[in-house]
């Protein structure tokens, strides 16, 4: 069987599946049950310093976006960091880590952007025996208005400064959690690296309002007639997270910076995709809040079976494997040409492909009087829209034209790949980027 154990910046865990800092990791009771279910690690819900207590709303904290079958696609939350006393959290972390020494125990932290505040809390966390800390520079609501969370994560200079304070104060590995509410994720990642970060984790939640109550005329979730922006997570944010992880992994400056990936991980396949783009561990939240802790059993078995089938002995053989194939648009090969093909036996004659192509694309699908749909090769630009809207998986596929074939749309013979990328028409600047 494939070896799923991981060593992430010196933090060992039996598998790469960690629970993200969130309600599922808010207390000892939850974390013990998570470890019993098989989770490889947890990031304890964000702790703050002693002082005035954090007070959460006593009303709805979540808003949701559903698919047509009411499957949860996205979750918006307005919950703050832990509202439990710091001393209670630290005592529970100590006890759980003692009883589960083989599991990764990371503690998420958020305190004011003052050096003394960080110096006060770090030794107390270190005494718990925790394996590392995660600096929460990502939370976009509630705490950001107080100069913490994403208010720090959106300013690279602050990221570098606070990271350096922590590295000078603690022996524990420092993971910097990045906010996606920024134009270019590479800048905060580079700042974390300059500050000495051992790793980064991303993405945190996306600033959002998920819906509006049209009777009360208020954003949801609604508290006494009012609503506010919150943090968006779940399957819907996975494409955004994948791109940001890839941007860090393929950036020359941060290419070797370890990444813990977060954002819509629901299945083993989601996790494998993040690892292929450079993640050394994956963190899960919304899927657990939807299906419960035991979802990790399917993640473990699914990843293990896939790795066995592909011949991967350990997760290190997956991490970053897809990064070399992530490129910029200008370097895509224009000599690669495909055409749509419809499997008539699988077709249910719903007409979605025809409607989509005829009304919004290239009028490349014909419909006969008896509703038989066929591709007009001379019009097909291989945009893939028909494949995406077809309700039957595998009914429509894209066939690659081979060198020597004639493209019916252009009348040109398909050539081999460009041997000299300096003359590639997508690269008019004549800069060599083949490597």
**Which residues of the chain have a pLDDT value below 70?**
52, 141-149, 416-435
Cα 378 versus chain centre, distance = 39
- Please state whether the peptide bond connecting residue 203 to the residue before it is cis, i.e. omega within 30 degrees of 0: yes
Domains and CATH numbers, the chain: 6-325 (3.20.20.70), 329-423 (3.30.70.20)
- Strand segments (E) across 173-258: 174-177, 199-202, 206-208, 211-213, 218-220, 230-233
The predicted pLDDT at position 231 comes to 87
Rounded to whole angstroms, how far apart are CA atoms 239 and 257? 21
What residues have CB less than 8 Å from 381, skipping those under 6 apart?
A: 362, 364, 409
Which tokens sit at 265?
């991980």
The predicted pLDDT at position 420 comes to 47
How many residues in total does the chain contain? 435
* CA-based end-to-end distance of the chain: 35
Q: What is the CA radius of gyration of the chain?
A: 25
Q: Please, are residues 82 and 48 in contact by the beta-carbon 8 Å criterion?
A: yes
The predicted pLDDT at position 49 comes to 86
Our answer to whether residue 139 is catalytic in this structure is yes
Closest among 290, 288, 323, 316 to 16, alpha carbons compared:
316
The predicted pLDDT at position 417 comes to 58
b/e map 225-234, b = 16+ CB within 10 Å: eebebbbbbb
Q: If you write DSSP's letter for every residue of 152-191 in order, what string do you get?
A: HHT-HHHHHHHHHHHHHH-SS-EEEEPPS-SS-THHHHHH
Q: Catalytic: which of 113, 139, 285, 380?
A: 139
Sole residue written with tokens 């954002």: 263
Rounded to whole angstroms, how far apart are CA atoms 295 and 291? 6
DSSP at 413: B
The predicted pLDDT at position 433 comes to 46
pTM: predicted TM-score of the whole model, two decimal places: 0.92
């Amino acid at each position: 069987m494939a070896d799923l154990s991981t060593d992430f910046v010196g933090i060992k865990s039996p598998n790469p599946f960690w629970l993200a800092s969130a309600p599922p990791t808010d207390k000892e009771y939850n974390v013990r049950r998570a470890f019993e279910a098989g989770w490889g690690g947890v990031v304890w819900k964000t702790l703050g310093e002693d002082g005035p207590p954090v007070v959460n709303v006593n009303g709805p904290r979540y808003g949701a976006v559903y698919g047509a079958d009411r499957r949860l696609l996205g979750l918006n939350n307005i919950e703050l960091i832990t509202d439990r006393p710091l001393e209670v959290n630290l005592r529970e972390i100590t006890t759980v880590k003692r009883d589960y020494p083989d599991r990764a125990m990371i503690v998420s932290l958020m305190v004011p952007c003052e050096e003394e505040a960080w110096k006060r809390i770090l030794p107390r966390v270190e005494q718990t025996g925790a394996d590392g800390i995660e600096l929460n520079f990502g939370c976009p609501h509630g705490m950001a208005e107080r100069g913490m969370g994403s208010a720090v994560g959106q300013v690279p200079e602050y990221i570098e400064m606070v990271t350096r304070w922590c590295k000078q104060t603690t022996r524990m590995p420092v993971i910097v959690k990045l906010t996606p509410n920024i134009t270019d994720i590479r800048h905060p990642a580079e700042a974390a690296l300059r500050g000495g970060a051992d790793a980064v984790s991303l993405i945190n939640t996306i600033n959002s309002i998920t819906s509006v109550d049209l009777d009360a005329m208020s954003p949801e979730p609604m508290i006494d007639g009012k609503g506010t922006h919150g943090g968006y997570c779940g399957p819907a944010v996975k494409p955004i997270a994948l791109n940001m992880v890839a941007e860090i992994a393929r950036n020359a400056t941060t290419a070797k910076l370890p990444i813990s990936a977060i954002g819509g991980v629901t299945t083993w396949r989601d996790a494998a995709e993040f690892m292929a783009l450079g993640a050394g561990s994956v963190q899960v939240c919304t899927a657990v809040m939807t299906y419960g802790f035991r979802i990790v059993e399917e993640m473990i078995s699914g990843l293990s079976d896939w790795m066995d089938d592909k011949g991967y002995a350990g997760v290190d053989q997956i991490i970053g494997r897809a990064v070399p194939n992530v490129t910029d648009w200008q370097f895509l090969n224009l000599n690669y040409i495909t055409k749509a093909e419809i499997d008539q036996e699988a077709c249910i004659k719903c007409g979605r492909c025809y409607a989509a192509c005829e009304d919004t694309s290239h009028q490349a699908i014909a419909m006969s009087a008896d509703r038989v749909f066929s591709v007009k090769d001379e019009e097909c630009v291989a945009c893939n829209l028909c494949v995406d809207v077809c309700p039957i998986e595998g009914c429509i596929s894209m066939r690659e034209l081979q060198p020597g074939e004639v493209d019916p749309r252009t009348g040109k013979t398909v050539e081999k790949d460009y041997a000299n990328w300096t003359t590639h028409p997508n690269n008019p600047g004549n800069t060599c980027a083949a490597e």
